[in-house]
């Protein structure tokens, strides 16, 4: 079709009132085909469901219905083969498909749009797309969880320093640290599952905004498209974008989790920490400093979080001032969602790759676990338990021991029994035993604590849940 003909075809779709074509700049700001072509499969699926419903309700003849369904299959095949002639004159995916359908099957194509509008059409297509994106993201997060669980299992008893304020606080296990992320990702997945439930209602048949005078069956189209039910209010049906916002807000929270883990990888791989090592597969060298091994993938996962948060913010702001029902502003809902989905796909895959790739430097972690008097709480706890000392006084005793060790430039475990007894006469050799990092972590058996037995239980419980969790 020539460009002039396409312009004519587009105005033919808006109706006879439009004699002239749009100004070039109008076309540029108005056309969404460059990005909404990603909805083609959902658009055709939605049109087929609508067409079948029209035939069942005797709004369309079976002959027209068959021609439309066959024509839509041809359009789908053309798009998938890369031979479909996308056109900006035809504005968006809906008009591109319909116009091609008319070229293929003639007048019957014009009957497909009976009892619907692009407003409910796009809302339907987009819901179907976001639903698929949720399912894809959930599967990717399950993969990441498995990678974290493998690490947690392998390092359930590997001691490392636990931090608060990024200051060495108390020894923990590497497995316990990995399991903290398993918890976060688990909540991310449950947010997605939850968003999916609310998303899964069909706007199709809301028509432009008010419903339709044709005897449609919205329950049928809802079921055809795998929705739980039709949306109850036609105005809401065409103007709601909560599903996109919920998807992006769940994504943004998840991206924040990935970013925190990425930040830890950046710190842990530094020459000052050396807690873990990433292979050449996930690092780059420096063109000038030969000793460097830069954790670029982790840095970029951290950086990309900004986009996802920005995408959520962008759509929240688009929506905040819109009166009911549809406004063209809502066409700008797609790019943020596509970007968030693409970014999350990449970030989750990169993080999964890094978790599988990394080597844990257990010796470095062990040495760091005991540095900085991290077992000071253990000696205070011992005084409470064995000497029945009030915790506040025990804290004071431990503090004095730390000060002495610090002054002498040694670790707590290097103080002699006599030196310790000079501070607190009740201290015995048994007290000195609690100062090792292994006994410290082994003693933290409270529910949710870092003791290796608790970590192994947590891994087993998470694995059981993972096996049984619905997508």
Q: Provide the binding-site residues for ligand ARG, judged by CB under 6 A.
A: 32, 36, 92, 118-119, 122, 326, 328, 330-331
CB of 36 to ligand ARG, least distance (A): 6
- Other C-beta atoms closer than 10 Å to the C-beta of 238 total 26
According to DSSP, residue 37 is labeled G
Question: Contacts for 106-113 with beta carbons within 8 Å, 24 or more apart?
Answer: 108/63, 108/64, 108/67, 108/68, 108/71, 109/68, 109/71, 111/54, 111/60, 111/64, 111/68, 112/47, 112/50, 112/51, 112/54, 112/68
SS3 label, residue 165: coil
CB of 319 to ligand ARG, least distance (A): 13
- For residue 455, give the nearest of 162, 163, 211, 208 by alpha carbon: 162
Comparison of 122 and 160: residue with beta carbon closer to ligand ARG: 122
CB of 335 to ligand ARG, least distance (A): 11
CB of 59 to ligand ARG, least distance (A): 22
- For residue 89, give the nearest of 40, 17, 20, 16 by alpha carbon: 20
Are 189 and 141 contacting, i.e. CB atoms less than 8 angstroms apart?
A: yes
Comparison of 116 and 151: residue with beta carbon closer to ligand ARG: 116
According to DSSP, residue 158 is labeled -
CB of 471 to ligand ARG, least distance (A): 28
Are 459 and 452 contacting, i.e. CB atoms less than 8 angstroms apart?
A: no
CB of 284 to ligand ARG, least distance (A): 40
* Residue 94 falls in the annotated catalytic set: no
- Give me the torsion for CA of 306, 38, 315, 183, rounded to 10°: -50
Q: Which two tokens stand for residue 442?
A: 């082994």
CB of 175 to ligand ARG, least distance (A): 47
Phi-psi region at 6: left, alpha or beta (left = phi > 0; alpha = psi -120 to 50): alpha
Give the Cα separation of 449 and 42 in Å (integer): 47
Per the residue annotation, which of 279, 286, 327, 400 is the catalytic one?
Answer: 286
According to DSSP, residue 413 is labeled G
* Residue 286 falls in the annotated catalytic set: yes
Per the residue annotation, which of 83, 165, 213, 446 is the catalytic one?
Answer: 165
Comparison of 26 and 417: residue with beta carbon closer to ligand ARG: 26
Comparison of 129 and 373: residue with beta carbon closer to ligand ARG: 129
Comparison of 328 and 385: residue with beta carbon closer to ligand ARG: 328
According to DSSP, residue 161 is labeled E
Comparison of 243 and 326: residue with beta carbon closer to ligand ARG: 326
The CA-based angle 160-161-163, given to 5 degrees, is 140
Comparison of 181 and 326: residue with beta carbon closer to ligand ARG: 326
SS3 label, residue 277: strand
- For residue 277, give the nearest of 396, 394, 387, 358 by alpha carbon: 358
Query: Which positions are annotated as active-site residues?
Result: 165, 286
């Amino acid at each position: 079709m020539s460009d002039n003909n396409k312009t004519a075809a587009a105005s033919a779709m808006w109706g006879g009132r439009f004699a002239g074509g749009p100004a070039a700049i109008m076309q540029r700001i108005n056309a969404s085909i460059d990005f909404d072509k990603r909805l083609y499969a959902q658009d055709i699926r939605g049109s087929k469901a609508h067409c079948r419903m029209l035939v069942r309700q005797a709004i369309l003849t079976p002959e027209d219905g068959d021609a439309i369904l066959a024509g839509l299959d041809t359009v789908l095949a053309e798009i998938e083969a890369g031979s479909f002639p996308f056109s900006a004159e035809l504005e968006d995916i809906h008009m591109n498909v319909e116009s091609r359908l008319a070229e293929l099957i003639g007048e019957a194509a014009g009957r497909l749009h009976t009892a619907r509008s692009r407003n409910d059409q796009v809302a339907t297509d987009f819901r179907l797309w976001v639903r698929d994106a949720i399912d894809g993201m959930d599967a990717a997060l399950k993969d990441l969880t498995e990678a974290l669980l493998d690490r947690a299992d392998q390092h359930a008893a590997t001691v490392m320093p636990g931090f608060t304020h990024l200051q060495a606080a108390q020894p923990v296990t590497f497995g316990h640290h990995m399991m903290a992320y398993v918890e976060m990702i688990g909540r991310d997945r449950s947010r997605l599952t939850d968003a999916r439930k609310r998303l899964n209602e069909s706007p199709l048949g809301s028509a432009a905004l008010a419903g339709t005078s044709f005897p449609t069956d919205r329950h049928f189209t809802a079921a055809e498209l795998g929705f739980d039910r039709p949306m109850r209010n036609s105005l809401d049906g065409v103007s709601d974008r909560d599903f996109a916002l919920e998807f992006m807000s769940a994504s943004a929270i998840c991206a924040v989790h990935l970013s925190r883990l990425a930040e830890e990888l950046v710190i842990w791989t530094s020459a000052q920490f050396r807690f873990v090592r990433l292979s050449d597969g996930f690092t780059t060298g420096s063109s000038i400093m030969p000793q460097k091994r830069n954790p670029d993938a982790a840095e970029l996962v951290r950086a990309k979080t900004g986009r996802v948060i920005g995408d959520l913010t962008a759509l929240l702001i688009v929506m905040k001032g819109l009166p009911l029902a549809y406004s063209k502003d809502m066409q700008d809902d797609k790019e943020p969602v596509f970007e968030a989905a693409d970014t999350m796909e990449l970030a989750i895959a990169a993080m999964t790759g890094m978790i599988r790739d990394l080597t844990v430097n257990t010796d470095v972690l062990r040495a760091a676990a005991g540095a900085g008097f991290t077992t000071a709480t253990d000696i205070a706890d011992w005084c409470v338990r064995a000497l029945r000392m009030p915790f506040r006084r025990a804290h004071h005793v431990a503090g004095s021991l730390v000060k002495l060790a610090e002054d002498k430039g040694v670790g707590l475990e290097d103080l002699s029994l006599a030196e310790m007894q000079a501070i607190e006469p009740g201290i015995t050799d048994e007290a000195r035993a609690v100062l090792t990092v292994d006994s410290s972590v082994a003693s933290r058996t409270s529910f949710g604590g870092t003791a290796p037995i608790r970590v192994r239980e947590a891994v087993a419980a998470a694995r059981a849940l993972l096996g049984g969790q619905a997508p």
